[in-house]
Amino acid sequence: MAWLDLLDPDLVAFQEVVENADGRNQAEYLAARAAREFHVAFAGVPWRDRRFGNAVLSRWPIDSTAVADLPPSSLPGDIERVALHVRSHGLDFFCTHLSWRMDDGAIREAQVRALMDFVRARADPAGVPPILAGDMNADPESNEIRYLCGLAALGGDSAYFQDAWGLAGGGGPGWTWDNRNPLAVAAREPDRRIDYIFLGWRPGPRAWIRRAEVVANRALTGVQASDHYGLLAELAKAPDEAEP
């Protein structure tokens, strides 16, 4: 909550959002208590006696939403994965959460292929390039991230998104899974950059990335916000177009 108010973002992508059987939803809870008014979209799958998934908060009214199922994890009993699309203020914003196991690279490759099919089907080809954000559970050097960034092909298919941290992070590793975080260290996983904001690309000066910053990387109220650090990106239309 404190980080939402401090950063005052226009769009927020949340993963691992829980909605209880009685309808209480973590994203809606945060939105209702934020200093700014947010509109909320949620897409979840059954998990135990509740739902688990992704959410988007937007400062603007949400015009439409859509959900796509992604290929399932190889881990028996693991939670299914989905991608959420929100159209708001003329922007196509996608939020997702890929399989978490370090040896699930082949599954994540299938998931990003399905994700790209979803983006192509839903994003307005004449509008601002699509924005994709989420917990990809994959390093920048992985095939799945290289595919999204236009550095590798999968199954004869290629794509291209601009990696906000890679282009405008100002140097440094950009770790979002960091063992300095007391909520992450117990997992004994290596420090990694696994959370991303991507901006699509189209010919012509349509949109660009001004800056990117790792955020929610310290406790503002005595408790760390998450086991992941957050990522903030400032995106803008080209200078000769409308306001950012």
Instruction: List the domains of the chain with CATH numbers.
Output: 2-237 (3.60.10.10)
Question: Looking at the predicted structure, is the pLDDT value of residue 244 above 50?
Answer: no
CA–CA separation, 51 and 239 (whole Å): 42
DSSP-derived letter for residue 229 is P
Question: Looking at the predicted structure, is the pLDDT value of residue 188 above 50?
Answer: yes
Residue 223: both structure tokens together: 């408790």
**In 3D, which of 3, 1, 31, 2 has the Cα closest to residue 215?**
3
With a pLDDT cut of 90, the percent of the chain lying above it is 75
Contact at 8 Å (CB) between 130 and 92?
yes
Helix H or strand E encompassing 15: strand 11-19
DSSP-derived letter for residue 71 is P
- Is the pTM here over 0.75, yes or no? yes
Taking only the tens place, the pLDDT of each residue in 46-79 is 988 999 999 999 999 999 999 999 998 877 778 8
Contact at 8 Å (CB) between 18 and 54?
no
Q: What is the mean pLDDT of residues 211-225?
A: 91
Q: What is the mean pLDDT of residues 33-43?
A: 94
Query: According to the model, what pLDDT value does residue 61 have?
Result: 98
